[in-house]
Amino acid sequence: MSISSMFSNKTSRRGFIKFCSYIASALALPASLVPKIAAALERKPRLPVIWYSFQSCSGCTESLSRAHAPTLEDLIFNYLSLDFHDVLQAASGEAAEQACEQSMREHHGRYVLVVEGSIPLGAKGAYSVCNGLSSLEQLSKAAKGAAAIVAIGSCASFGGLARAAPDPTGARSVAELMQDGQIMKKPLVNLPGCPPLPVVISATLAHFIVFGKLPELDGENRPLAFYGNTIHARCSRLSFFLHGQFAESFDDEGARKGWCLFKLGCKGPSTHNACASCKWNGGVSFPIDSGHPCIGCSEPGFWDSKGFYQPIRGNVPLHS
């Protein structure tokens, strides 16, 4: 959609440039790239997106619906052509399936495939079936024509809750299926979190629109701009950790004074995410600010991490 269409949707030029600046900042890009981002978003057609939900709770979709910069409406009307999403689309049944098939044909090699939820291999895929196809069959078919795949949330990235012991459904991540040769290898970005921050989703898609490629990734295929540092390194309670001031229980004096939650099992020192800097609900807060320790939801296997409220053992790095 052109910039004139954006104005018709009540998006001012000032608001548009502010959004471009926000995206550049979120992705740790220099301010000098803001004009390039603006020009690309004005010039390029909306990015075709096919979004599949497999073994998930739809929490990642809920997270995207709460995006504020840009809003979900801005994303869909101005930047993305959301051609298939079984939760957000108006169509259902055969009409929805036909729309998906048409998008895969017309945008072959150009659409981004978003995967929410893990993919079950147990019982020959019977744990998750739609339109007579298992999740693996749907994913394999859609991956063939995708320009890139975005694994949204910890379930798609690492297996998530369904993968927790004893893993009754044989849940697997997108990366594992690529490594095993069960789906075609494509450029892959993992956006873990239970759920991931809205800005992580919108900024990653914006990066692909502007630059035609995924952002720089870490060893777990996560964008370095968001997952390059631990929550601990940017935590608002870090000074209390450095001074040895810890809450011993959830209702003691230390907790009321906002002291460090490390002894209550905070996984911030071993968790790579941007919660402490981007925060939730439009930058209002995040769990640690609200008095609850980080549970490490953006790390592989966090459901089997020996208890959310057990302190981390060993040395704690301050900046990593």
pTM recorded for the entire structure: 0.89
Any known ligand binding at 194? yes
Which of 86-95, 186-195, 259-268 bottoms out in mean pLDDT, i.e. has the lowest? Answer: 86-95
The average confidence (pLDDT) of the chain is 90
Round to whole Å and give the CA distance between 234 and 267. 13
Tell me the residue length of the chain: 320
Round to whole Å and give the CA distance between 108 and 286. 39
CA distances from 39 to 112, 211, 261 (A): 21, 11, 45
Can you list the domains of the chain with their CATH numbers? 46-226 (3.40.50.700), 229-320 (4.10.480.10)
Round to whole Å and give the CA distance between 157 and 150. 9
113, 149 contact by CB (below 8 A): yes
Q: Which of 49, 9, 94 is nearest to 206 (CA)?
A: 49
Give the model's confidence band at 227: pLDDT under 50 very low, under 70 low, under 90 confident, else very high.
very high
For 132-149, the pLDDT digits (tens) are 999 999 999 999 999 999
Any known ligand binding at 275? yes
Round to whole Å and give the CA distance between 169 and 26. 36
Please work out, in degrees rounded to the nearest 5, the angle formed at the alpha carbon of residue 88 by the alpha carbons of 76 and 184.
Answer: 85
Any known ligand binding at 100? no
Any known ligand binding at 278? no
Radius of gyration of the chain (CA): 20
208, 201 contact by CB (below 8 A): no
Instruction: Identify the top-confidence range among 87-91, 169-173, 279-283.
Output: 169-173
Any known ligand binding at 130? no
Any known ligand binding at 60? yes
